[in-house]
């Protein structure tokens, strides 16, 4: 993409003796070959989980939200916790593809395709919760500012939930277009290699007649840059607006101005953790160790230290402000988080999100694939608990102690959450068999600058 050269002393981003042809072979292999045993096992497990989740969801739609554990005081619980968790996970994709593109970070090229796919699938999972957590989901379209025949009825532009509708639908559509646009040259590569005429026909259609002419490439580069520019503010805006659901309310523990930056940092934190979890498995299963290298993992771990520390500072700041503000309700809300009946959720969050990522300061740990994998799982769990802590522990004891209650989930809502994890993996596994999981055309552009054997040649 960029023409400038890279210093030979920098570690190569593509290992092994790669040629352009070898790269095409490596990356198209999962699409052209047969799925292996591990793929099928994971797919079946994910599919069963998805079906189970759909059954629970159907039951909820049939009987009512009462099949969940929420009550008069805790109106939102697992539903919105899961929603925010998934939306957060969906943040790494756009950050990698847009912001790192603008900063010309070449290492993003091996991971951006999967990260963007992950973003889209995570947003799909996230979107299910606000859609189906309403009492009457068949009327959800009332939240759209549609021309209607109901008289003067219109949406409430004061409501953060409405902002959510706009923020998430914009994010989803821009991410989808960006991801698909990037796929075009690679889909054309797959098309050109197809032996089966039906496959060739289908890949021909979905690659939009890409010919690889100079004009195609020129437009492709231009549109990529424009979309990167459009996506960049979205990385910040989506979770900012999600945080407004809480920040603009009057619930102690929610009404906090620190929420937007704190949520964005948390989202990137959890997004990268999920990218790591997936990539560590995918590089092994798909045999892509020479493209997604230890250097990539280490760089992502560094982002995790940064965002994890921001999140840690945010937790501390919240506590400090709760005390410093002198607001008794807020002071209580925070004491209750740490030492109240849900103390275990709070300390799980603190351990997973604040303590574990700090281990990455040790080079040995951040360059160990096993350690990275375990810590990334910890971060995923911790970030789920963060949302649970914010939502449930704030609501369950707010202003009037007469309404204070406890909340516990039912197996139906747990089932729906498990189902979304299943859906996510079904989508991702399907993606890995149908589309090139690495941005092939883009990565080829840096082979001669940062490929292992070319680097060696430069030195010799």
Interface pick for another protein out of 142, 343, 373, 431 (rule CB under 8 A): 142
- Find residue 14's DSSP bridge partners: 451
Residue partners of 315: CB distance under 8 A and separation at least 6: 350, 353, 354
Alpha-carbon distance of 39 to 18, in angstroms, equals: 26
Q: Which stretch binds another protein (CB under 8 A): 67-75, 218-226, 276-284, 357-365?
A: 67-75
The answer to whether residue 170 forms part of the interface with another protein (CB under 8 A) is no
Instruction: Decide: helix, strand or coil at residue 451.
Output: strand
The answer to whether residue 309 forms part of the interface with another protein (CB under 8 A) is no
Interface pick for another protein out of 30, 90, 160, 422 (rule CB under 8 A): 160
What's CA 233's distance to the chain center, in Å? 16
Q: Of residues 216-245, which lie at the interface with another protein (CB under 8 A)?
A: 245
Q: Which is nearer to another protein, 50 or 56 (CB)?
A: 56
The answer to whether residue 148 forms part of the interface with another protein (CB under 8 A) is no
Instruction: Decide: helix, strand or coil at residue 332.
Output: helix
CB of 398 to another protein, least distance (A): 7
- Report the 10 Å Cβ neighbour count for 347: 15
CB of 410 to another protein, least distance (A): 10
The answer to whether residue 359 forms part of the interface with another protein (CB under 8 A) is no
Q: Which is nearer to another protein, 121 or 129 (CB)?
A: 129
Interface pick for another protein out of 57, 65, 168, 390 (rule CB under 8 A): 65
Q: Of residues 373-392, which lie at the interface with another protein (CB under 8 A)?
A: none
- The token pair at 46 is 């994910």
User: Is 121 within 8 Å of 50 (Cβ atoms)?
Assistant: no
Q: What is the DSSP string of 347-379?
A: HHHHIIIIIGGGGGGSHHHHT-HHHHHHHHHHH
Q: Which stretch binds another protein (CB under 8 A): 17-25, 29-37, 285-293, 332-340?
A: 332-340
Interface pick for another protein out of 76, 263, 360, 384 (rule CB under 8 A): 76
Alpha-carbon distance of 335 to 58, in angstroms, equals: 39
The answer to whether residue 338 forms part of the interface with another protein (CB under 8 A) is no
Interface pick for another protein out of 5, 335, 411, 456 (rule CB under 8 A): 335
Interface pick for another protein out of 143, 238, 241, 276 (rule CB under 8 A): 143
The answer to whether residue 250 forms part of the interface with another protein (CB under 8 A) is yes
CB of 402 to another protein, least distance (A): 4
Interface pick for another protein out of 26, 330, 386, 398 (rule CB under 8 A): 398
Alpha-carbon distance of 441 to 435, in angstroms, equals: 13
Interface pick for another protein out of 139, 147, 195, 460 (rule CB under 8 A): 139
Interface pick for another protein out of 1, 102, 161, 226 (rule CB under 8 A): 161
Alpha-carbon distance of 213 to 136, in angstroms, equals: 51
- The token pair at 269 is 């934190």
Alpha-carbon distance of 62 to 67, in angstroms, equals: 10
DSSP assignment letter at 291: T
Alpha-carbon distance of 392 to 124, in angstroms, equals: 24
The answer to whether residue 411 forms part of the interface with another protein (CB under 8 A) is no
The answer to whether residue 75 forms part of the interface with another protein (CB under 8 A) is yes
Instruction: Decide: helix, strand or coil at residue 270.
Output: helix
Burial 210-245, CB ≥16 within 10 A → b, else e:
beeeeebeeebeeebeebbeebbebbbbbbbbbbbb
Interface pick for another protein out of 149, 156, 198, 213 (rule CB under 8 A): 156
Q: Which residues bind another protein (CB under 8 A)?
A: 63-66, 69-73, 75-76, 130, 133-137, 139-140, 142-143, 153-156, 158-162, 165, 245, 248-251, 328, 332, 335-336, 339, 395, 397-406
């Amino acid at each position: 993409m960029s023409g400038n050269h890279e210093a030979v002393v920098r570690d190569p981003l593509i290992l092994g003796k790669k040629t352009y042809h070898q790269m095409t072979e490596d990356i198209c292999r999962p699409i052209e070959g047969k799925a292996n045993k591990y793929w099928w096992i994971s797919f079946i497990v994910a599919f069963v989980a998805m079906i189970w989740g759909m059954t629970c969801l159907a039951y909820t739609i049939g009987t009512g939200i009462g099949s969940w554990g929420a009550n008069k005081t805790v109106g939102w619980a697992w539903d919105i916790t899961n929603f925010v968790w998934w939306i957060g996970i969906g943040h790494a994709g756009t950050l990698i593809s847009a912001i790192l593109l603008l900063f010309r970070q070449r290492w993003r090229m091996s991971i951006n395709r999967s990260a963007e796919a992950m973003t889209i699938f995570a947003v799909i999972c996230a979107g299910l919760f606000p859609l189906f957590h309403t009492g009457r989901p068949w009327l959800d379209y009332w939240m759209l500012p549609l021309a209607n025949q109901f008289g003067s009825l219109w949406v409430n532009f004061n409501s953060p939930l409405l902002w959510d509708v706009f923020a998430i639908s914009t994010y989803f559509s821009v991410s989808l277009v960006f991801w698909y646009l990037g796929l075009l040259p690679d889909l054309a590569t797959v098309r050109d290699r197809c032996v089966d005429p039906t496959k060739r026909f289908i890949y021909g259609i979905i690659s939009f007649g890409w010919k690889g002419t100079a004009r195609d490439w020129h437009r492709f580069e231009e549109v990529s840059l424009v979309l990167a520019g459009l996506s960049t503010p979205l990385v910040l805006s989506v979770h900012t607006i999600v945080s407004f659901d809480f920040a603009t309310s009057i619930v102690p523990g929610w009404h906090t101005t620190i929420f937007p930056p704190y949520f964005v940092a948390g989202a990137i934190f959890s997004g990268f953790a999920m990218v790591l979890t997936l990539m560590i498995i995918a590089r092994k299963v798909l045999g892509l160790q020479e493209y997604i290298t230890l250097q990539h993992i280490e760089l992502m771990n560094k982002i995790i230290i940064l965002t994890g520390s921001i999140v840690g500072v945010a937790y501390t700041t919240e506590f400090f402000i709760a005390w410093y503000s002198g607001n008794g309700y807020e002071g209580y809300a925070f004491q209750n988080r740490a030492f109240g009946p849900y103390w275990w959720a709070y300390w799980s969050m603190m351990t997973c999100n604040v303590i574990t990522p700090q281990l990455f300061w040790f080079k040995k740990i951040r360059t160990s694939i096993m350690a990275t994998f375990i810590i990334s799982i910890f971060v995923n769990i911790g970030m789920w608990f963060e949302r649970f802590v914010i939502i449930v522990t704030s609501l369950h004891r707010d202003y009037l102690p007469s309404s204070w209650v406890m909340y516990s989930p039912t197996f139906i809502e747990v089932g729906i959450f498990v189902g979304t994890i299943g859906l996510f993996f079904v989508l991702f596994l399907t993606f890995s068999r149908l589309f090139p999981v690495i941005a092939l055309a883009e990565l080829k552009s840096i082979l001669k600058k940062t490929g292992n054997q070319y680097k060696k040649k430069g030195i010799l």
